[in-house]
Amino acid sequence: MLWGGRFTGGQDPLMMELNQSISLDKAFYKQDIAGSIAWAKANHKAGNLSEDELQKIIAGLQEVEREWAEKTFQINKETDEDIHTANERRLSELIGKEVGGKLHTGRSRNEQVAADMRLWLVEQLRQIASWVEDLIKVITQRAEIEIEVCMPGYTHLQRAQPVRWSHWLCSFGNAFASDLERLREVIKRVNRSPLGCGALAGNPFGIDRDFMAKELGFEGLLMNSMAAVGDRKFVLEFLQWAVDLMGNISRMSQDLIIYSTAEFGFVKLADAYSTGSSLMPQKKNPDSLELLRGKSGTIIGQMVGLTCTINSLPTTYNKDLQESLKPMLEGVETVSLSVRILCGVISTLTIHPTNMLKALTPDMLATDLADHLVRKKVPFRETHHISGRVVALAEEKQVPMDKLSHEDLQGVDGRFGEDFEFDFEKSVELRSAKGGTSKASVREQIELLKSMVTS
């Protein structure tokens, strides 16, 4: 073991199993090797390594990386408790301990693991950001093409007012755009270098931290060595962001699950994102969306678990922080898969505009009826009451509101003229303020969403 000098007894095998992280952090082999090469260059720059030693270390590390890439790297379960010890052990085997043993000069695994995790997470988050952009693009493309389609809008899961299908799409496009904005901010905060902070107190060998940060593509430094090595809030911030994203994915999935039922019949999922029943041959289940809805709970659990782990830890590094590896790795995997699945669902589903139109009922224009009188200078609080009486009259006569005669409306209030139309298209077009359901308003939303994914 790298730390074994002061120990004389062997470790309990169960303790070795509890202590190891190689099963998880081997995912960072590229980042660990890149960090080690930057470290070697910085030590050469500081005069701690000769040119010949530097070249041997770089060549050896490149060979180690090749073995990982080709899946020929052999993990030694007796010594390789993490990716750092595994790579350094193999390096010394390749170039000799005399030179290989100099790589770790002035370096602690505390800073090393933090650097590996940050480098890996930044790479993954940038990829996730591109997939979120793809999702927004798919949403805007459908919204543009299907802007003519009207459907019921709901509050309390009750039919409320007519809206455009595109307006519903853009409601989630805006939610995902906000997620994308926040993700870009998260990436900036994750992309800070802890290298050169040592175990907790900094580096005594004149290491150039700015040089290493630039070599590795970090956007800056973590400026306090104690804070740098003991920080896993960057993982927690990613998970907190993931909770928001998965919450939006869950809500969109819930809507589409409802809309795909026979009772609604608004949408039909492609076979590629559906499953059947082992008993009932007629079933076509929206399992993709149900799984996405369920994954949101998994992410919440990971976020809460890590919060509890790091909430009251004493200052700087504690081994509890190793528990941040699994939720980070699994969280990235869950989010990456979920965003791509939802993108596939949205891009391939079929909509049924006729069923959407059939679901629109004249009573959904009750607000428009009130607005009609407002345009005749009647106070809205009065028109709201008048429109409610019209709804009640239609229920009493057991007819749709649009089947009431002009005399019926005049009987409720003499200010009703013959110029009111029960017209769903007109209703959505009247809501032309920014953010509304008119074509112009929806197109404005679409263009705004487009600008956010091309910036």
Q: Which residues are catalytic?
A: 156, 277
Contact 243, 279 (CB under 8 A): no
Contact 175, 250 (CB under 8 A): no
- Round to whole Å and give the CA distance between 430 and 260: 29
Residue given tokens 């997939």 in the structure block: 131
As given in the structure block, the two tokens for residue 46 are: 């500081």
As given in the structure block, the two tokens for residue 349 are: 């589903």
- Round to whole Å and give the CA distance between 90 and 76: 10
Exposure of 399 by Cβ count < 10 A (0-12 exposed, 13-18 middle, 19+ buried)? middle
- Round to whole Å and give the CA distance between 453 and 134: 8
260 backbone dihedrals φ, ψ, rounded to 5°: -90, -5
Exposure of 110 by Cβ count < 10 A (0-12 exposed, 13-18 middle, 19+ buried)? buried
* Dihedral sign (CA 73, 75, 79, 83): positive
As given in the structure block, the two tokens for residue 52 are: 């010949």
